[in-house]
């Protein structure tokens, strides 16, 4: 494709730290449910059998989000219900002279799982200086109910005696759990999701290369484009096929900017714009730092109720014997923890191609720091040349200590990918991890795993349709960005 030479905007024009989040709101309510039923019958020499199954599920969720530079609020409610029932009947009769017998068995099982969760996260920066507060509250409830009933009747007789045995049993188990958590963190500093800056930079470079833009965007045009990219994901909340609506707005914005050529987007340029930046993974580009103390309250309440009943009647001629056994259990446990600690994170985009990320958090029990503690940290770097190279490395560590178990894990990962469209794809990766559990009972487990991945693919292909299209050959890749 031959396009006029246009001066491209400098990489320094795309300042990740100068990006500001546009004020916006989005919401969604979704309801979904289903049911199924089946019946199977088997008849053959031997016992006749019949099985019936039925299940139903329902999921309801509501999300409301307000996002902006000063105030962010994410609120969600989710409820799920799943029910499954099973019935089985088996009957058989026959004779082994001089005896005859009849047997019938039936069972019914029911499983019900109810889950509900309410979650809210707020970040508020009331002043122009980067001083704010973050809070998070969650409430979760789970109710799992299993019950079953079984019964059987067996009769047998011969010329001398007869016998009848009736057996029935019932089992009921119900597990309920309530979990509440609330945390607050005063923040010094501000972290923003600046992925929109990279998306806007990449779009401008591609459209200039494809001859769609007559000139680079102005500063005001870039700010509007970045705001639009920031709200791209909520388009998928509203529409089943969001791309056509989102890119219609991108084209309108570029026309109003006066940078779009008269022909507008052609099919090639639009599909090129939709291509991911790298061959493997999406790259999240955050910018900023934040540090602050954290106070968290956790409350859990769990109960387990179970009962089991068996009953058997045996009749031999005129003699009747009856036995019953019933066992039940009822347990409940609740716990409240007050944890204190801190968090710190830093995210540094070094131009469009480089990204450095790091975060650490620690929480300790306020009554006895040695009794309960959580430590979590990670660090990562990413280097990407769009449509050509992508490399990243990361390491993470996590430790959770409680009276019953001391658990820690450490992992690291390195990946390098090279992509030459229509020609070559190369990937090299290495991962390693260690996991350790130390239980209060004295049992100790340790595991280590490592993996190496190498992949290479090369393509040489062509398509010839004389009189319809020009010969189709692998494209000559342009420069990476």
* CA end-to-end span of the chain: 18
CB of 321 within 8 A of CB of 179?
Answer: no
Q: Residue 305: which pLDDT band, with cuts at 50, 70 and 90?
A: very high
Q: Which residues pair with residue 136 across a beta bridge?
A: 121, 183
Query: Which residue spans within 19-161 are E strands per DSSP?
Result: 24-42, 48-67, 71-96, 99-124, 131-157
264 is written with which tokens?
């507008």
Q: Which residues pair with residue 163 across a beta bridge?
A: 156, 316
Enumerate residues 6+ apart whose C-beta is below 8 A from 157: 99, 100, 101, 163
Provide the pLDDT for residue 253: 93
Average pLDDT in the 146-169 region? Answer: 89
Question: SS3 of 456, please?
Answer: strand
Q: How many CB atoms lie within 10 A of CB 154?
A: 16
pLDDT tens digits along 395-445: 999 998 877 788 899 999 999 999 888 888 899 999 999 999 888 777 889
402 is written with which tokens?
């409680």
- Give start and end residues of each alpha helix (H) in 378-436: none
Give the pairing of strands 99-124 and 444-458.
Answer: unpaired
Provide the pLDDT for residue 9: 55
Give the pairing of strands 131-157 and 286-316.
Answer: unpaired
CA 330 to chain centre: 34
Question: SS3 of 451, please?
Answer: strand
Distance of alpha carbon 199 from alpha carbon 11, whole angstroms? 13
Q: How many CB atoms lie within 10 A of CB 112?
A: 15
Q: Residue 10: which pLDDT band, with cuts at 50, 70 and 90?
A: low
**Does the pLDDT at position 260 exceed 90?**
no
pTM as predicted: 0.84
Distance of alpha carbon 226 from alpha carbon 232, whole angstroms? 10
pLDDT tens digits along 94-151: 777 888 888 889 999 999 999 999 999 999 999 989 999 999 999 999 999 999 999 9
Provide the pLDDT for residue 1: 44
Q: How many CB atoms lie within 10 A of CB 404?
A: 8
Provide the pLDDT for residue 285: 93
Which backbone phi and psi does 335 adopt, to 5 degrees?
A: -155, 140
């Amino acid at each position: 494709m031959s396009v006029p030479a246009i001066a491209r905007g400098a990489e320094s024009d795309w300042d990740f730290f100068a990006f500001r989040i546009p004020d916006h709101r989005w919401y969604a309510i979704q309801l979904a449910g289903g049911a199924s039923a089946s019946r199977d019958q088997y008849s053959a020499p031997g016992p006749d059998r019949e099985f019936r199954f039925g299940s139903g599920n329902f999921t309801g969720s509501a999300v409301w989000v307000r996002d902006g530079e000063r105030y962010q609020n994410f609120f969600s409610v989710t409820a799920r219900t799943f029910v499954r029932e099973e019935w089985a009947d088996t009957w058989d009769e026959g004779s082994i002279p001089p005896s005859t017998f009849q047997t019938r068995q039936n069972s019914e099982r029911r499983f019900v799982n109810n889950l509900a969760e309410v979650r809210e996260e707020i970040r508020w920066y009331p002043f122009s200086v980067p001083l704010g507060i973050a809070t998070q509250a969650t409430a979760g409830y789970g109710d799992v109910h299993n019950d079953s009933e079984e019964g059987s009747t067996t009769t047998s007789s011969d010329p001398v005696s007869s016998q009848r045995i009736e057996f029935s049993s019932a089992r009921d188990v119900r597990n309920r759990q309530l979990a509440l958590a609330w945390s607050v963190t005063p923040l010094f500093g501000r972290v923003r999701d600046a992925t929109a800056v990279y998306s806007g930079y990449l779009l401008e470079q591609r459209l200039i290369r494809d001859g769609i833009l007559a000139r680079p965007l102005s500063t005001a045009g870039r700010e509007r484009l970045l705001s639009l990219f920031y709200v791209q994901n909520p388009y998928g909340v509203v529409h089943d096929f969001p791309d056509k609506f989102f890119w219609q707005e991108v084209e309108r914005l570029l026309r109003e900017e006066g940078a779009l050529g008269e022909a507008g987007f052609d099919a090639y340029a639009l599909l090129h714009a939709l291509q991911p930046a790298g061959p493997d993974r999406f790259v999240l580009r955050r910018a900023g730092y934040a540090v602050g103390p954290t106070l968290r309250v956790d409350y859990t309440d769990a109960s387990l109720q179970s009962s089991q009943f068996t009953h058997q009647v045996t009749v031999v001629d005129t003699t009747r014997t009856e036995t019953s056994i019933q066992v039940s259990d009822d347990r409940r446990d609740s716990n409240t923890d007050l944890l204190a600690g801190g968090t710190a994170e830093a995210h540094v985009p070094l131009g469009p191609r480089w990204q450095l990320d790091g975060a650490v958090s620690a929480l300790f029990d306020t009554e006895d720091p040695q009794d309960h503690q959580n430590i979590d940290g990670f660090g990562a770097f990413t280097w990407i040349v769009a449509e050509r190279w992508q490399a990243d490395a990361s390491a993470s560590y996590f430790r959770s200590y409680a009276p019953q178990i001391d658990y820690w894990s450490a992992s690291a990962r390195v990946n390098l990918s090279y992509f030459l469209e229509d020609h070559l794809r190369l990937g090299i990766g290495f991962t390693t991890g260690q996991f350790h559990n130390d239980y209060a009972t004295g049992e100790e487990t340790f595991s280590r795993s490592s993996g190496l991945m190498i992949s290479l693919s090369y393509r040489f292909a062509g398509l010839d349709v004389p009189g319809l299209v020009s010969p189709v050959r692998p494209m000559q890749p342009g420069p990476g960005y």
